[in-house]
Structure 1
Amino acid sequence: MPSVGRVTPGQTGDNPQLLPLLDQVNVRRDGPGRPRSRPGRVLADKAYSSPSTRRAMRARAIAFTSPETKDHAGHRLRRGSRGGRSPAFDAEIYKGRHVVERCFNRLKQFGALATRYTKRAAYYRSELTIAAIVLWLRESPDTA
């Protein structure tokens, strides 16, 4: 099973990594058939709310939920009627992001992951995989 993830230098921004990451995604179907290569929806924080990201999501026919940043809203309002309308945002759907944020917070409890002492990306990815397995085993109701 191929892993989905991208390990980048710490100073690299998150937004440029979104589209290459989505190219790696395979969404398993409930029934028979090959996996879908496109998720139905992407929930993202404000770091991903740029107009170029929104255009890319529309071009891929992926529903995108992300709050608009104040500077983007201000720029849009300064342009007046040429600025367009504000992007759709559903706060109820956005609340589902807490699951991912909680997972990141749990992974940060592993000191080596939070500080990134390892220099090689393969070692860091291995540590991340081991930490995810440990968390999964802790939460699994079948283990006693």
Structure 2
Amino acid sequence: MERIRVPRTGRGRPRSTPDQVIADRAYSSRGFRAYLRKRGIACTIPEKADQQRHRHNRGRRGGRPPAFDRHIYGRRNVVERCFNRLKGFRGIATRYDKTATSYEVAVSLASFLLWARSV
């Protein structure tokens, strides 16, 4: 997260928080959602079935369901497929490199090769 920098158009330091987090059901806890809400980050996370059932059982005290946009969540699989293709390169999947810089270069090279194959 420290390396994320979104340049500002005007004055001020660059932003380092994302606009939105798209995650799977493993991150649907109230604590995780509260953390994102406290930092002002929107999230698109589906609710687990047991959490839905618990909320419904509480009736009116259960609260309203968290916001969820199926269209945005549907685009998440593009990123997942990209990671799966990158894992096809054995050096990236097992992380043989000692330094983060050399690993980043390996990921960049693999990304370029994947792009070159698709063209």
For normalisation by structure 1, the TM-score amounts to 0.66
Q: Mind listing any 5+ residue stretches in structure 1 that lack a counterpart?
A: 5-23
Bigger Rg over Cα: 2
Q: Mind listing any 5+ residue stretches in structure 2 that lack a counterpart?
A: none
**Aligned with residue 87 of structure 1, among 58, 66, 71:** 66
> What secondary structure, in the 3-state scheme, does the structure 2 residue paired with 1:37 have?
coil
Aligned to 1:21: none
Distance in 2, Cα, partners of 1:132 & 1:99: 17
- Specify whether residues 47 and 56 from structure 1 end up closer, same or farther in structure 2 by C-alpha distance, changes over 3 A only: same
RMSD between aligned residues? 2.6
- Specify whether residues 62 and 117 from structure 1 end up closer, same or farther in structure 2 by C-alpha distance, changes over 3 A only: closer
Distance in 1, Cα, partners of 2:60 & 2:74: 31
Matched, 1:68 2:47: yes
* Matched residue type, 2:106: A
Whether the aligned pair in 2 keeps the contact of 1:107 and 1:113 (CA below 8 Å) is: yes
* Matched residue type, 2:108: I
- Specify whether residues 89 and 81 from structure 1 end up closer, same or farther in structure 2 by C-alpha distance, changes over 3 A only: same
Deviation at 1:100?
1.6
Whether the aligned pair in 2 keeps the contact of 1:42 and 1:65 (CA below 8 Å) is: yes
Matched, 1:77 2:56: yes
Matched, 1:26 2:4: yes
Matched, 1:137 2:90: no
For normalisation by structure 2, the TM-score amounts to 0.78
Count how many residue pairs are aligned between Structure 1 and Structure 2: 115
